[in-house]
Amino acid sequence: MASGDSTTELTLYIAPLVNPYKLTMVAEELGIPYTTKIIDVQKGEHKSEWFTKNINANGKLPALSHKRSNGKEIVVWESGACLQYLADQFDPEHRLSYPRDTQEYYSTVSWLSWQVSGLGPMLGQSVHFLRYAYEEDLYGIRRYVAQSRMHFSVMEAHLKDKGTPYLVGDKCTIADIACFTWVIAAWYCGITIDEYPTVKAWRDRITAREAVQRGLDVPAPFFASDENTKDPDTKEMRVMIQKTTSEWLKADVENWYKAPGAGYME
């Protein structure tokens, strides 16, 4: 339910990168009216003074702002925190969550935390060394592809052991959506999804959800999914992202390597 209406209370700060799609999918699942603020990462808007002072001091995406009925505005950043906020504020019927103080609630929080602290970072580093690194590093590739496969194995064993359609029982939750965003990009991260049949079935189950498909089209069709590997439009976007990201990484390394306190590396 993306909207261009400036009066909409919920604003999602996003770009066509992996993590922001978590927010659009959850918003679509819950039927929340929202406005999108597309941040131009090619121009470095996410690092601008306006963005870092008002939205996210860390200069990353996604983030959200919510003008509440009392007139106060809440700003949240980091994808896991944003998903938890959306569930807390817009899911009283627990369509993507469970009631507080239940085992299912804390299991959902656990899997969400696992995604943002483990699955996402490991797959992200795998993509870094496979796709974005401006210097080849075989150790980095082997290290993080191995870690990514280990995390896929954790999901495979859990889903197979529990025999449930989703990570926590019979309900798709914010934790499933968080993990899904990375799992659908398995090939991009050096993973062959067929090696994890239970995870693949879980992925297909979530892919079939209409709201998920709507969310994957905002702000642009998801560029890194297995099914889009041959699509010319998403391929063009991947090439652009890889080129831009490599340039950022090189600049960041040069800038921060020379920062105070880095002298011990010389």
Mean pLDDT of 72-96: 98
The label of the residue with tokens 């921060």 reads 256
The count of C-alpha atoms lying within 13 angstroms of the C-alpha of 57, restricted to the half-sphere facing its C-beta, is: 0
| pTM greater than the 0.75 cutoff | yes
- Can you tell me the distance from the alpha carbon of 41 to that of 240, in angstroms, rounded to the nearest whole number? 11
State which CATH number among 2.40.160.150, 3.40.30.10, 3.30.70.140, 3.20.20.70 fits the domain covering 6-90.
Answer: 3.40.30.10
pLDDT tens readout for residues 170-227: 999 999 999 999 999 999 999 999 999 999 999 999 999 999 999 999 999 998 887 7
Contact 39, 46 (CB under 8 A): yes
pLDDT of residue 27: 98
DSSP state letter for 171? B
The label of the residue with tokens 């499933």 reads 176
Q: Which residues contact 184 (CB under 8 A, 6 or more apart)?
A: 203, 207, 222, 224, 225, 226, 227
pLDDT band at 232 (very low <50, low <70, confident <90, very high): low
Contact 133, 107 (CB under 8 A): no
- Can you tell me the distance from the alpha carbon of 167 to that of 175, in angstroms, rounded to the nearest whole number? 7
pLDDT of residue 154: 99
pLDDT tens readout for residues 110-158: 999 999 999 999 999 999 999 888 888 999 999 999 999 999 999 999 9
Q: How many CB atoms within 10 Å of residue 228? A: 21
Cis preceding linkage at 165, omega within 30: no
pLDDT of residue 237: 62
State yes or no: pLDDT of 3 exceeds 60.
Answer: no
